[in-house]
A and B are shown apart, each in its own frame.
Chain A
Amino acid sequence: MFDIGKKSADKGQQDTGAQAKAPQPSAAADPAARRSPATPREAAVIGPSIHIDGDLRGEEDLIIEGEVNGTVQLRNNTLTIGAQGKVSADVFAHSVYVDGYMEGDLFGSERVCIRKSAQVKGNITSPRISLEDGARFKGTIEMDPQAVEAALGRRRGAAPAAPAPQEQKAAQPSQGNGKPDAASGIKR
């Protein structure tokens, strides 16, 4: 029943459509794959009956079809939130694919892909973001390369211990009521 650590290849017919769609990067082409000790590229699966509260870290690709609350860190690997997956967490991964429900901040050092069945509420920071029509999204999409690099750089430079997602939030500008004095920079 407990699917963590099981390779998706072992699950055979139980694999979901989301899993079938999960990317399978070749180790030769993908530097992240070379860095990962999990040389076979099958992903671990958190099954639909699993509920996890807390920090989830790993060095292999992961598919979440269950419920996860907390943080998810797969810095060199791919996270897929399957169609049945429900994640309320801040997520840090090399690549993130969302088919299911996600609430929290998404950091993808390579890419974030929001598919048409996804419901996402939160903020996305990644150099490559795609969003399929039909996906429900509310939040912020950071596409400025410098801002993305700064955000991800801060993440990379964080202490090796578990990073605190609230740091990022605390680093954001305070929520003042007044408007900034600086000119908008747009020519009038």
Chain B
Amino acid sequence: MNAPGRFTVQAHPPGAEPLNAPLFASLIERLQAAEERCIVLDLGPARTETLALFGQLRARLDIVDLAESLDQFDDVDEPDVLRERAERLLPPRHGDGAHVVLCWDLLNYLKRPALSAFMTAVAERTRRGAFAHALIAYSSARMSVKPGIFVPVDGQRLVNVSPPQAERDSPRYSPEDLANCMHGYTVERARLLRNGMQEFLFRL
């Protein structure tokens, strides 16, 4: 098997600055070392680069593309309604739950009740000991109107390939906020990246 840094995906678009993501690299290392089939629940859109990376492992990718459906959670606070909408967006529960959840630049786009309902539904689709890898805008008080599209450059770096967008206020969820909203998720490690995003590796 290749070392994580030797996973090749494809060249990133001009102008997009790849970001070292050490927790992502450690996750890929673990998957590589496991040498077992892994199930990845990707909350982002289907992307060639993600397919290319996990295609080098024995993987099944479950693609949710949450960004396309974020508006379904706007202006709703009732837990039952939020839960029902989350269930509709997510793949059916299988006996073989996901080993890994990818959640890149999405959590800040859900209000607290929606975050809680959605991530609870996600947790129910994972197996014990699963990991959730998240990127969350944290340093800046502003964030883009729509979530960025992050893709792997290789087994160690991620890059945002979305075009420049207008901005809006960011809720800047802290680790405490996330702990309060995301029951069952334990922060295993967290890192502040040089673009101001916080990288989280959660354990379920």
Contact = CB atoms under 8 A, between A and B. Distances in A.
Q: Say whether chain B's binding surface is mostly helix, strand, loop, or mixed.
A: mixed
Interface string A86-125: 0000000000000000000000000000100000000000
Given A141-B63, A143-B51, A176 B37 contact: no
Contacts of B36: 185-186
A173 B91 CA distance: 13
Contact of A180 (B31, B68, B128): B128
Contacts of B94: 172-173, 175
Nearest to A181: B128
B30 A138 contact: no
Given A131-B48, A131-B51, A137 B63 contact: yes
B65 A176 contact: no
Could you say which interface size class chain A belongs to?
35 or more
A136 interface: yes
Contacts of A186: 30-31, 34, 36, 38, 99-100, 129, 131
Interface stretch (B1-9, B54-62, B77-85, B170-178): B54-62
B197 interface: no
Residue from A140, A142, A147, A187 with most neighbouring chain B CB atoms (10 Å): A140
A10 interface: no
A146 B65 contact: no
A133 interface: yes
A31 interface: no
Q: Say whether chain A's binding surface is mostly helix, strand, loop, or mixed.
A: loop
Contacts of A188: 129
Contact of B48 (A130, A176, A181): A130
B96 interface: yes
Nearest to B42: A141
A139 B91 contact: yes
A179 to B, nearest CB: 5
A177 interface: yes
Given A136-B68, A143-B59, A143-B60, 19 more contacts: A129-B55, A130-B51, A131-B46, A131-B51, A139-B91, A141-B60, A141-B61, A143-B55, A147-B37, A174-B95, A180-B97, A183-B128, A184-B99, A184-B128, A184-B129, A184-B130, A185-B34, A185-B36, A186-B100
Q: Which 3 A-B pairs have the closest CB atoms?
A: A173-B95, A137-B46, A185-B36
Interface of A: 114, 129-133, 135-147, 172-177, 179-188
24 contacts: A129-B51, A131-B47, A132-B48, A133-B47, A136-B46, A137-B45, A138-B64, A138-B65, A140-B60, A140-B91, A141-B46, A141-B60, A144-B37, A173-B95, A175-B92, A176-B95, A179-B97, A179-B124, A182-B127, A183-B129, A184-B99, A185-B34, A185-B99, A187-B34
